[in-house]
A = this chain, B = another copy of it.
Amino acid sequence: MIRVTVWNEYRHEKIDDRVRNIYPEGIHGAIAGFLGMHEDITVRTATLDEPECGLTQEVLDNTDVLIWWGHMAHHEVPEDVVVRVQESVLKGMGLVVLHSGHHSKIFKRLMGTSCNLSWRFEGTDGDMERLWVVAPDHPITQGIDRYFDLPGEEMYGEPFDIPEPDKLLFLGWYEGGEVFRSGCCWRRGRGKIFYFQPGHETCPTYHIHWVQTVITNGVRWAEPESRVAALECPNVKKPTPKF
């Protein structure tokens, strides 16, 4: 059983009717909803305005994969929560970072870069986006054909200031003329990290079947092999031969 915690900033939904109409239970509620349909996954949620952002040590210790959605209040996440999440990832907890989470403190801290990009949202719906599978052999792309389309999304464009991904999975094509590395994987410490671009708050992206498939695959991929102690920095004796 994979224990998932879906973290959401949960602010847009409270102040913007358009967002609340799309996600009446919040973005976290929508994501928890489709993940919870799977028998191998058990889900809880956590949000910014809960005590300790809902991410106590006890919660993190019982989370195999953390999903992160944030946008307008990245700066309100306290440093000690960020450190705690980072340490959990380095110990093996998987992390799936969605959309504007590219600018979250936790993602920037794990990447070491600005995670800047170029962006645009014009009109009511933004750009049509087509997501192409670059790695058809990867667990996260299973069940997806050559590509899938999103009728409207915020455009995120290159250059994307990230470390070279360990594996590039999706490339995004936008009708406005840009491209983006829309799905990328890294390992940091013992933990696996998956960044996935779709999910602007005014678009019904997380209701789309293909997006749900990718996120579900991402959760299964990011589940740790083991949750042992973090890598320490021991003073060691000369190793004894073991035959």
Query: Which residues of A line the B interface, CB within 8 A?
Result: 86, 90, 92, 103, 109-114, 116-120, 122, 128, 130, 132-139, 142, 146-149, 151, 157-161, 163-164, 166-168, 171-174, 176-179, 181, 186-191, 224-226, 228, 230-239, 241-243
Q: How far is the CB of A92 from chain B (nearest CB, A)?
A: 7
Residue from B109, B114, B159, B186 in contact with A136 in the complex, judged by beta carbons closer than 8 Å: B159
**Chain B residues whose C-beta falls within 8 Å of the C-beta of A177 in the assembled complex:** 130, 173, 238-239
A132-B157 in contact (CB<8A): yes
Q: How far is the CB of A19 from chain B (nearest CB, A)?
A: 20
**Chain B residues whose C-beta falls within 8 Å of the C-beta of A186 in the assembled complex:** 163
B171-A189 in contact (CB<8A): no
* Of A116, A137, A174, most B-chain CB atoms within 10 Å: A137
Given A134-B181, A225-B137, A235-B119: A90 touches B173 (CB 8 Å cut-off): no
User: For the complex, would chain A's binding face be called helix, strand, loop or mixed by DSSP majority?
Assistant: loop
Closest residue of chain B to A137 (Cβ to Cβ) is B190
B187-A159 in contact (CB<8A): no
**Chain B residues whose C-beta falls within 8 Å of the C-beta of A173 in the assembled complex:** 173-174, 177-179
**Chain B residues whose C-beta falls within 8 Å of the C-beta of A188 in the assembled complex:** 112-113, 163
B236-A157 in contact (CB<8A): yes
B190-A120 in contact (CB<8A): no
**Chain B residues whose C-beta falls within 8 Å of the C-beta of A151 in the assembled complex:** 243
Give A176 to B236 CA distance when docked, in angstroms.
11
Residue from B128, B138, B232 in contact with A241 in the complex, judged by beta carbons closer than 8 Å: B128
Give A232 to B176 CA distance when docked, in angstroms.
20
Closest residue of chain B to A224 (Cβ to Cβ) is B137
A147-B239 in contact (CB<8A): yes
